[in-house]
Structures are given as C-alpha cells and as structure tokens.
Amino acid sequence: MVIRVNYDADDNLSIEKVSEICLKCGVCCVVKEHACHAQLDSQFHPQYTYVYDCLGAESPSYNPNIWLCVSCHKCEELCPYGVSPIRFIESMKAKAFEEGLAHPVIFGEVTNVVSTAFAFPLTASSRRHRQQMGLSPLDESGADDLKKIADKTGLSIKIRQYRGKKQ
C-alpha cells in the first residue's frame, strides 16, 4: 500500500523530515521520456536531481528552482515510495508567494489573470487577429468575479504589496 504524505506550508516541515521521506532513488527525474521536465535544466544530473534540489534546499521557499515545476504530477505518479514532491513544491510556492518571494514572472501572470481573466495579455492585435480569423470576441466578463475572489482571499492585497515593492 502506498502512503501519501501531506505537506502543508504551515507545517514547518523540517528539511530532515522531507529528506527522510524521499529515498533519493532518482526515479522521478531520470526515467527517460517520462520523468520530470525540470530535470532537463543543465544544473541537474542523475546524481543531483531537480527533486533533490527542491526537497533538500536549506530554505525551500527561497529556492528559485521551485518555479521550474509545472505541476504535471509525473513525479507523484513515478515515485515507488509514495512521496509526492509536487505537493511539497506547491506548498513552497504558496509560502514564497505569501512572503513576496515569488518570481516576478509569476506575479505578472497572476496580476494578468486577476485583471483580465486570461493567462495571456489581451492586446488590440490579438483581438484584431481573432476578428480576421472569424473567431468570436473573447468573453472578458470573468474578470469581475475574479476580482471579487481576489479581494476576499487577500490576493489583491498581495498584488498591491508586490507592486509597492517594485516601485
């Protein structure tokens, strides 16, 4: 039976404990064609994998490499020992976001989604191209609901704080 381990950003899970859970077998990062895509980055190799880098970092939420994870869940599916690196990494991303440590690109993406309801910038050019291709205009009405959600969850405050830091 596989026992899934739950990680929580508020758990203050010690690095030692995470290291104990992961047996450093490397399977999640070195199985050809099925492994973690972040492993392709040149700083990683079979003896030092992406997952070790994330789980073993001294301050995981400060590790910029956590943003290389695209949340594909392959590591979770491949791990023979029931470890779920993605859950740990996602918790660390949430912690980093809370602490204002998220990569600027991530803050930019989140800001764009909250203000437009789309993950990509809506430009005059993109609207024109849709029209030229005979596509209907995009429905931008979701932005109002997202703004309400962002206000209620405190995300709007985080975005404002981040903008304040940049200025």
Residues that bind ligand SF4 (CB under 6 A): 22-28, 36-38, 51, 69-75, 78-79, 81, 83, 85-86, 89
- Report, in Å, the least distance between residue 129 CB and ligand SF4: 31
Nearer to ligand SF4, 23 or 157 (CB): 23
Structure-token match 């869940």, residue found: 73
Structure-token match 């491949």, residue found: 78
Nearer to ligand SF4, 14 or 136 (CB): 14
- Report, in Å, the least distance between residue 84 CB and ligand SF4: 8
- Report, in Å, the least distance between residue 128 CB and ligand SF4: 35
Report how far residue 115's alpha carbon sits from residue 110's, in angstroms, rounded to the nearest whole number.
Answer: 9
**Could you tell me the CA-to-CA distances from 19 to 52, 81, 95, 123 in Å, in that order?**
8, 13, 19, 46
Task: Work out the angle between the directed axes of helices 104-116 and 155-166 (0-180°, nearest 10).
Answer: 130
- Contact between residue 75 and residue 51 where contact means Cβ atoms under 8 Å apart: yes
Report how far residue 2's alpha carbon sits from residue 56's, in angstroms, rounded to the nearest whole number.
Answer: 22
Nearer to ligand SF4, 23 or 149 (CB): 23
- Report, in Å, the least distance between residue 62 CB and ligand SF4: 17
Nearer to ligand SF4, 56 or 156 (CB): 56
